[in-house]
Amino acid sequence: MNIFRHLHTMLHVVAFIATTSLAMATRKYDAVVVPGGGLDHSTRQPAAWVISRLESALELDSNTRFYIVLSRGTPHRAPPRDGGDYPVDESVASARYLMEHGVSSSRIILDTWSLDTIGNAYFARTSVIDPLSLRSMCVVTSAFHAPRTRAIFDWVFGLDVSSPQTFRVDYKISPDTGMADDVLTARREKEEKSLIRLREHTIPQVQTMQQLAEFILVNHGAYNAEGCAKEREPSCSTAASSY
């Protein structure tokens, strides 16, 4: 059953790529948005699949005003540390990669708050998109991450809007480069379960930005006082190395 569900998901991904790639080549965006996806702890650089996202984002360089790189880190693993023993934020590593590939720092906006994909979307909207009055964006993420990312961003950017056209959000999918087969399989299964839970439980209960703020800041274990006060232990699951 999992195989058929995965094939169904991937067929939707392939169809989505085919129908949007031509439009993206000519559209102009206020921002290209790259969700967090993990760091290579040995090099303190973005993970290989995140580099794939960044390379796909760079293909839109002439089409966008800003790059918004997301994520402080993840609750699943402690962050690597730099030479001064400071933690390395994912968004900082992604920003550094973009600058090394010719993007001016003045075009890069960092999210140094979020710790998961829902947080990526929430903090991107409340801390960057709304304050800067940005309205058109292209979210770039990996194939394994794309279905849930799209569901989350469509939901978050559809809350409390004056019309469905308030935001234009496109999606660009990058290859799952560099992830071991067993890790990719485990992560796909985790993504599918999380997407079901999101659609059946979270989205029906959170239908305004105020409700979303309460969900993130009061109820979400990655952000609330109770969750942050606990001593965390890294996950030992197969999927953990995909973060």
Q: Which of 93, 89, 103 is nearest to 32 (CA)?
A: 103
pTM for this prediction: 0.90
pLDDT tens digit sequence for 91-100: 999 999 999 9
pLDDT tens digit sequence for 176-223: 999 999 999 999 999 999 999 999 999 999 999 999 999 999 999 999
Is it the case that residue 172 has pLDDT exceeding 50?
yes
pLDDT tier for residue 1 given thresholds of 50, 70 and 90: very low
3-state secondary structure of 98: helix
C-alpha torsion 218→219→225→228, nearest 10: -140
**Domains present along the chain, CATH in parentheses:** 25-242 (3.40.50.620)
pLDDT tens digit sequence for 33-78: 999 999 999 999 999 999 999 999 999 999 999 999 999 999 988 9
Is it the case that residue 232 has pLDDT exceeding 90?
no
Q: Both tokens of residue 226?
A: 């109770």
* Mean pLDDT value across residues 150-165: 93
